Structure 1
Amino acid sequence: MTAEKIKLLLHTVRYLKPTQVTYRVVRKFKKERPEPGPPPPLRTSNGQVVAWPERAASMLSPTRFRFLNVELERANPGDWLEGGPEKLWLLNLHYFDDLNAEGADERTKWHDALVKRWIAENPPATGIGWQAYPASLRIANWVKWHLRGHELSPLAIESLAVQARYLVRTIEWETMGNHVFANGKGLFFAGLFFGGEEGDRWLSLGLKLLKQELEEEILADGGHYERSPMYHSIVLEDVLDLINLRRAYPDAIPAEYRAFADGWSDLAQRMRVWLNVMLHPDGRISFFNDAAFGIAIEPPGLHAYAERLGLAPVAQAKEGMTHLKESGFVRVQFGNTVGLFDVGEIGPSYIPGHSHADTLTFELSVRGKRLVVNSGTSVYKQFPARQQQRSTAAHNTVVVDGQDSSEVWGAFRVARRAYPLDVQVKQEGDAWVVKAAHDGYRRLPGRVTHRRTWRFDPNGIDIVDQLEGTPNEAVGYLHFAPEATVEGGTVRRGPVTATYEAAGADAQVADGTYHPEYGITVPNKQLRLRFAGAAATLRLQWKDQEGR
C-alpha cells in the first residue's frame, strides 16, 4: 500500500464507529457456523396482504438472467459465485427479486426450480449468497412469494429457517446503516412467518434493529440520511413492506414495539413528501450521490403501493421554495421549471459509501425537461469509472487544483470530506437566492473556501462562485442532459432553448458521459469554465420555441 493510500485510509477510519472497526476485525478471523435443524412452526397468516410492488422481470429463462442491463447464462453450480461484470450482478442473482416481479405468476415453475437449485448449490454459510445483505432480501422475497399463494416446499421452509439463524449471527455491524436496516427487515419477515420461541426471538430482534435504524436513518425532514433519492426510495418501499406484512399477522407484534409499529404509516407519509420534493417534473428521481434509474421502484409505483395500504395521497412539491434543512437540499419551482440544490453534508459520517464529492452541485429542469444533470451511477466495482462518477468533476460544481471537494476513493470510501457553511435561502422579487459555502478545499495548500450563490428566476439562473484563499487553478463544470445539443453559446433540448454567458472564466464545450442506469453510459456535453481569477459567474437564460 502506498503512502498516499495509507493516508487516505487513516483519514477514513477516524470517522468510523468503534463497533464498525471491531466487527471488521472479527469477521476476518471468526467464521460463523450455520445451525441446521427443523424449522419452527409457521405462524398463521390472515392473508390480508395487498399486492407487493413489481419490478421488471429479471429471469429470462430457467437459466438466463438480466441484472444491471447485462444478460448472462447461469446454468452451472459455480455460476452463483463467479462471473458477471461485478459483484453487484452476482448479489442480484441471490436476491430472488424475480419471484415477485412483473409477470411472475407465468414463471412459477422456473421459480420453484430456482429455489430448489439455490438450496442444492449453495450449502449453508458458503459463498456470497449467505452474506447478510443478500440473505435479508432473499428471506423477504421467499416469504412474499409464499404469501402470494406459491407455497414454499418443506425443504425451502427448512432452508429459510437456517438462513434466518445464520443472519442472526452475521448482522452487518461492520457496515451499519441501510445494511443493518435490511437485516432487521429480513428478521422481521422471518419472525412473522415462523412462530414458536425461535420465531418470536427473530421478530423481537428484527424490530429492535428496525427501531434503532429508522430512528437514526430517517431525518426530521423525512429524508434518508444517505441523501440518495434512489436509496431513499428503496427504504421507503421497505417501510411500506413492514406495514403490509404486519397486516397479515396483526396480533403478533410484541407489546413493547406496538407504538413503534403504529408509527410506520406516518413515517412513510413523511418519506413520500420528501421524495416528491426531490423529483424532476418528469416524475423521476434526481441524481444526487449514488442514484440511477432501474433499481428502486419508480415514485408512482411507490405512491400507488402506499395507497393500496390505505395511506392518503400526499401533495406534490409546492410552487416556490422548499428547504429540506436536515437533508441539505433546496428545491425552487416555477411551474414546470425546477432547480434542486445540494447545500448539505455528503452523508452520515461513519457510512459515506454511497456519497459523492458533490457539495454545492445542482440539477435543473426547464419547461419540464431535464437540462442540467449530475452524471449518475453505472458501476460499483472499483473501476476508474467508479472514481470518476463519484468525483467533483462529474457534478455541477467547482474543482480546485484538480482535487475533489471530498476525498472519495476505493469503491465506497471517503477520507476527508467537505462540510457546508453559511447556508442562506431568501426571496428577492420574483427570484429565489440560495447561498452556501464549503470547506472541502481548506485541506489544500491554498486553504480555499468555495462560496456559491444561485439566483434563480422563472427565465434563468445566475451561478456566482467565489474562492477565498489562494487556489492555483479552478474549473467549474456544467453537465447537460444527453438529449441536449450545445453550440455557439446555446443549449437546445426539444422546445427549450437556453443561452449561456460566462464572466471571469473561459467557457469551453467538451464531451462527457452520463450514466442513467447501472451498466449504461451515454455521451453528453459538458461546459467547463476555467477561472481567470478567484471568482466567476455563469448566466443561463432560457426560452421555449414560442419565445417565452
Structure 2
Amino acid sequence: MTRSELARLARTVRRLHPLQIATRVPHLAVARALSFMPGAAAPTPIERFPAPPRALVDLAQAERSRGAKRLAHLPPGRLRDYEEAYGLALGADAAPVDVSAWQRRVALEPYPASVRARRLAVAMRCGGPGRAVGMASELARACRAVLLQPELHLMANHLLENGIALAAAGAVTRGPEARAWSRAGTAILSWQLPEQFLPDGGHFERSATYHLALTYGLLELIELTMATGASVPELWRDTARRACAWLSQVRAPDATYPLLNDAALDAAPSLDDVLRLGRALGLAAPAAERPPDGIVHLRDTGWVLFRLGHDMLVFDAGPEGARYQPGHVHADALTFELWIHGARTVADYGVSSYANDEARRTCRATRVHNTVELGEQDSSEVWSAFRVGRPANAEVHEVIDRTGIDGGADGAGADGRVLIATASHDGYAFMSGHPIHRRRITLRPRRLTVEDTLERSATPRSAPLSAPLSALSRLRVADNEVRGLVVRGGAGSRVSRDVWFPEHGAPREALVYQQAGRLEQRLEMNWELTWEAGPGPGGRPER
C-alpha cells in the first residue's frame, strides 16, 4: 500500500463509529462459521388476524412484481444474490415460490435474512390460516441468522433493517424465542430510529431509495403490531409520520423521487404506494392534488426544493450522507435535478453498479454529476465501492422566495415568482489556494439560471498559488421532449451524447452539456435554461 493510499485509509477510518471498528472482526468470524441454520422448533405462528388493510396487501403484491422485474435485468453478482434471497415473490398471498435461493449461504447473511423475515411476516399475516405454519421454520432460520450477527460493523440502514425484521417476526409468532426476537428488535429501534431519522423526517444517509425502504418496513411493522392488539410505541408512530411527510415533500411531479446518493427507481417500493399505506394507518396526510408553489428547505437533509407549477428543482446542498456510514455518498456537492412540465429533464447520473468496478467509480465521480469538477478531482474523496475519505462540506447561505414585479430587478412578470438558493462547499479546499465553490440557482417561470463562482485565496501568509486549475461544469439532460428547451452556457460550451440510469444498471440516453474554464484566482461559469409553456392540469396551458 502506498503512502497516499495509507493516508486515504486513515481519513476513512477516522470517520467510523467505534462499534463499526470493534465488531468487524467478530462479525467476520461468525459469518465465516455460519454455513447452516436450523429451522426446527420454530415459535408458534399466530394463525388468525383481522382482515388486512387493502393498502398492505396491494403493496406486498406490487413488491412481488417489482422484484421480478428488477431481477430480470440485474447482472450476476453479490447484489443479485442478495435480492434473490429477499423473498419478494411471497407477496401477500404466500403463493408457492422457488426457495432454492434461500438455501444458499448468502441467504444467512443478516441483510437478506432481515428482508426475507419481514416479507415472511407480512405473508403470514395476510395469507390466511394454514399458510403461516408452513413458513414458520423459514422465519426462524432467518431471524436466528439476524440475531447471531446484527450488522454493527455497518450500522445505518442495515442495522435498522435488522431491528425491523426481528420486531416484525416477533409480532406474528408466540413463545419465548418470539419474545426474544421482539425485545431485540425493539431495542435496536429504540436506539437507531432517533439516530437515523433526522428532525426534518429524512433518513440520515440522504438517499430516497433507502428512506422509502425503511419507511415501508416501519409501516409494515406498525400494522403487524396493531393486528395483534399490542400497543405501538409512540417513537415508531412519530418517526413514521415524519418519514411520510418527508416523502410527500420530495415527491416529484411524475410521482418519482430524486436520484441522489444511490437512489434508483426500481430499488424500492413506489412512493405513492408507501404513502397510501401510511394513510391507511393514519400516519400520512391526505394526498394533495399538487403541492403549493414556493421553497421547501429540508435543513437537516440539506436539500432545497423549488416548485413552480409543474416544474420542480431539487438542490443538494447539505451533508454528504451519514458521517460514519457514507457508503452511498456520491461526489456530487451542489448538484441538482430539474423537472419541467412534470418530466425529469436535468437528471442525476443514477446508479450503474454496486460492484468495486469502473462503472461504480464512474457513477460516484463528480464528472458525471450536474456540478463543477475542479482540477480533475472529485469533490468528495470517494473510493472503492462504498468508501469516502475526505468529504465535501456544503452549506446553504440563503433561500429567497420572491413574487416578481413588472420591471423589477429579477425580471419576472407581474404574475411571476422568483425562487433563489445560494450555497457553497469546501470539497476542493485541500488543493492549492483552498478553492471554494459557490453556486446560486434561480428558478423563474420557464427559466432557470445557474451561477457558479470558484475562488482561491492568495494571502501573504499562504503558499504561492500553483498553476491554474481546469474547471468543467456539466448538465445531464434526459432524452425527452420538452417544448422549446434551450440550454445556454459560456463560450466554448459543447454537447455530447451519454447515458443516465433511472433504474439500477439500466441506461437511457442523455445529452451532456459541458463548459470549461481555468481557475487562477476567481472563475465564474453560468448556465441558463429556458422553455416554453406546457400543458397543465386538464390540458390547460400553464402560464
Shorter-chain TM range is 0.7 to 0.9
Check conservation: 2:45, 2:133, Cα contact below 8 A. Answer: no
Question: What is the identity, as a one-letter code, of the residue corresponding to 1:522?
Answer: R
Write the distance in 1 (CA, Å) between the matches of 2:132 and 2:83: 23
Instruction: Give the match for residue 246 of structure 2.
Output: 274
Match of 2:475, as an amino acid? L
Q: Label 1:353 to 1:276 Cα distance change in 2 as closer, same or farther (>3 A).
A: same
What residue is the counterpart of 1:518 in the other structure? Answer: 504
8 Å contact kept, 2:305–2:315 = yes
Specify the code of the residue in structure 2 equivalent to 1:70. H
1:454 aligns with 2:441: yes
Q: Report what 2:486 is aligned to.
A: 499
**Residue 224 in 1 paired to residue 224 in 2?**
no
Counterpart in the other structure of 1:47: 50
| Counterpart amino acid of residue 440 in structure 1 | G
Map of 2:144 onto structure 1? 165
CA contact 1:240–1:306 (8 Å) conserved in 2: yes
Q: Provide the residue aligned with 1:89 in structure 2.
A: 80
Which residue number corresponds to residue 475 of structure 2?
A: 478
Structure 1 contact 280–338 (Cα < 8 Å) conserved:
yes
What is the identity, as a one-letter code, of the residue corresponding to 1:338?
Answer: M
Work out the CA distance in 1 between the residues paired with 2:311 and 2:70: 34
> Residues 58-457 of structure 1 correspond to what in structure 2 (within 5 A)?
67-70=70-73, 84-100=75-91, 108-109=95-96, 111=97, 114-115=98-99, 117=100, 121-122=103-104, 127-149=105-127, 151-152=130-131, 156-251=135-230, 258=232, 261-311=233-283, 312-315=285-288, 316-421=290-395, 423-428=397-402, 429=404, 430-457=417-444
Q: Structure 1: where are the runs of 5+ without partners?
A: 72-83, 484-492
User: CA-to-partner distance for each residue in 1:313-338, whole Å, 9 max, x for gaps?
Assistant: 15453211111111011111111111
SS across alignment from 1:443:
coil
SS across alignment from 2:188: helix
SS of equivalent residue, structure 1 residue 142 = helix
* SS of 1:286 mapped into structure 2: coil
Identical pairs, percent: 31
Change (3 A) 1:159 1:502: closer
Residue 178 (structure 1) shift = 0.6
State how far apart, in whole Å, the 1-side matches of 2:498 and 2:158 are. 33
State the Cα distance separating 1:462 from its structure 2 match. Answer: 1.5
Structure 1 residues 513 and 434, CA gap change in structure 2 (3 angstroms)? same
Structure 2 SS opposite 1:344: coil
**TM-superposition CA deviations, 1:234-276 (whole Å, max 9, x none):** 111112111211122123x5xxxx5xx2343343232222112
The verdict on how the C-alpha distance between 1:90 and 1:58 changes in structure 2, with shifts beyond 3 A counting, is farther
Deviation at 1:44, TM superposition (A): 6.2
Separation of aligned partners in 2, 1:222 and 1:322 = 13
CA distance in structure 2 between the partners assigned to 1:152 and 1:44 by the alignment: 8
* 8 Å CA contact retained: 1:292, 1:378: no
Query: How far did residue 369 of structure 1 move?
Result: 2.3
Question: Cα RMSD (Å) of the superposition?
Answer: 2.5
Q: 1:361 to 1:42 in 2, by over 3 A?
A: same
Give the direction of change, closer, same or farther, for the CA distance of 1:406–1:246 in structure 2 (3 Å limit).
Answer: same
The CA distance in 2 between the partners of 1:425 and 1:535, in whole Å, is 21
In structure 2, the gaps of 5 or more residues are 405-416, 457-464, 535-540
CA contact (8 A) 1:94 1:138 kept: yes
Other-structure match for 2:408: none
Q: Counterpart of 1:456 in 2: which secondary structure?
A: strand
**2:64 & 2:217 partners in 1: Cα distance?**
19
User: What CA deviation, in whole Å up to 9, does each residue of 1:210-233 have, x standing for no partner?
Assistant: 121111111111111111111111
Distance 1:149 1:455, change over 3 A: closer
Q: Which moved more, 1:517-526 or 1:300-309?
A: 300-309
Contact 1:508 1:528 in 2 (8 A): yes
* Alpha-carbon spacing, 1:498–1:513, altered in 2? closer, same or farther (3 Å): same
The structural deviation recorded for 1:56 is 5.2
Q: Secondary structure at the match of 1:442?
A: coil
How far does residue 58 in structure 1 lie from its aligned partner after superposition? 5.5
| Structure 2 Cα separation of the partners of residues 497 and 250 of structure 1 | 57
SS at match of 1:521: strand
Matched residue SS, 1:90: helix
Tell me if 1:508 matches 2:494: yes
**Cα pair distance change 1:337/1:357, threshold 3 Å:** same
3-state SS, counterpart of residue 379 of structure 2: coil
- Distance 1:422-1:369 versus aligned 2 partners, 3 A rule: closer
Aligned-residue offset at 1:437: 0.5
- Distance in 2, matches of 1:93 and 1:422, equals 41
Distance 2:486 2:43 in 1: 67
Q: Quick check: 2:469–2:518 contact (8 Å CA) kept in 1? A: no
For the residue of structure 1 that corresponds to 2:512, the secondary structure is: strand
Letter in structure 2 aligned against 1:542:
W
- 2:11 is aligned to 11
CA distance change for structure 1 residues 118 and 376 in 2, over 3 Å: closer, same or farther? closer
